[in-house]
């Protein structure tokens, strides 16, 4: 009897589609960032704050992933971004196939920047390549400082870690230094930014990081 590893088969198919997505994004010259975090870490608030601060003329699309509702896409549309909502109906992550379906309904060629806001989860999204240029993992100071070692896979995969809600640090026991050290152990190449998406502190460094990535993508 031949045994088939179903999980491997699913991931192999996902990787094939992710490669196709990546080729589409490369042909369009668009920078694609996959935002991953636990629920409530502030991904949508970060998007809202980013959209308000991006240089004029930056053409941005947003692909929103959630179990249900279109609340998040409505929030970013209110900040002037076009995009599409993907509801997984219970699924804990977006897949390359879902993203391909969304891309087929969007004018990717008109964009400079695409944000994919993944379903709130630090486990499943780490495994699924969507064709993005970079995975950005978001941590909130209100979550506790134990996330990197509890969920190492996403920190192994992330290009950037954003520590959000720094404005609340005076009221918490969150050890920023510990978090930075653990991320460095798991992934020495992962950059780390600290900011408050709600209050705006540190947002300039986030925008500079995006600008440098966008410039490098255009150069390629």
pLDDT at residue 1, as a whole number: 53
Q: What is the pLDDT of residue 219?
A: 85
Predicted confidence (pLDDT) at residue 3 exceeds the cutoff of 70: no
The percent helix, strand, coil of the chain (3-state, each to 5) is 45, 20, 35
Quick: pLDDT tens for 120-131. 999 999 999 999
> What backbone torsions phi and psi does residue 144 show, to the nearest 5 degrees?
100, 155
Q: Is the pLDDT of residue 17 over 60?
A: yes
87 φ, ψ (degrees, to nearest 5): -105, 125
65 in Cβ contact with 98 (< 8 Å): yes
> With 60 as the cut, is the pLDDT of residue 186 above it?
yes
Quick one: which of 43, 69, 34, 35 has its CA closest to 143? 43
| pLDDT for 7 beyond 80 | no
The pLDDT value recorded for residue 28 is 95
Helices 203-219 and 43-53, axial angle in degrees (round to 10):
70
Give the side-chain half-sphere CA count within 13 A for 87. Answer: 7
Average pLDDT over residues 161-185: 98
Band (pLDDT 50/70/90 cuts) for residue 4 is low
pLDDT tens digits, residue range 85-110? 999 999 999 999 999 999 999 999 99
Which residue in this structure is represented by tokens 């949508």?
Answer: 44
- Residues 164, 139: contact at Cβ < 8 Å? yes
Residues above pLDDT 90, as percent of the chain: 94
Residue 195 has pLDDT above 70, yes or no: yes
Q: How confident is the model at residue 218 (pLDDT cuts 50, 70, 90)?
A: confident
Residue 72 pLDDT > 70: yes
Which pLDDT belongs to residue 2?
A: 54
Choice between 4 and 161, residue whose per-residue pLDDT is larger: 161
**What domains, with CATH codes, occur in the chain?**
6-219 (3.40.50.300)
Between 112 and 5, the higher pLDDT residue: 112
The chain-wide mean pLDDT, for the chain, equals 95
């Amino acid at each position: 009897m031949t045994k088939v590893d179903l999980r491997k088969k699913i991931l192999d198919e996902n990787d094939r589609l992710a490669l196709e997505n990546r080729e589409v994004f490369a042909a369009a010259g668009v920078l694609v960032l996959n935002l991953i975090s636990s629920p409530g870490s502030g991904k949508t608030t970060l998007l809202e704050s980013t959209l308000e601060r991006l240089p004029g003329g930056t053409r941005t699309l947003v692909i929103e992933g959630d179990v249900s509702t279109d609340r998040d896409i409505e929030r970013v549309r209110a900040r002037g971004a076009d995009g599409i909502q993907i509801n997984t109906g219970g699924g804990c992550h977006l897949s390359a196939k879902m993203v391909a379906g969304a891309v087929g309904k969007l004018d990717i060629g008109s964009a400079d920047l695409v944000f994919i806001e993944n379903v709130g989860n630090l486990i499943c999204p780490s495994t699924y390549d969507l064709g993005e240029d970079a995975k950005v993992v978001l941590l909130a100071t209100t979550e506790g400082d134990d996330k990197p070692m509890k969920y190492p896979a996403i920190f192994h995969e992330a290009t950037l870690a954003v520590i959000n809600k720094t404005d609340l640090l005076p009221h918490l026991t969150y050890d920023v230094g510990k978090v930075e050290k653990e991320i460095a152990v798991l992934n020495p190449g992962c950059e780390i930014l600290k900011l408050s998406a709600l209050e705006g502190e540190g947002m300039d460094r986030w925008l500079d990081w995006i600008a440098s990535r966008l410039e490098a993508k255009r150069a390629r």
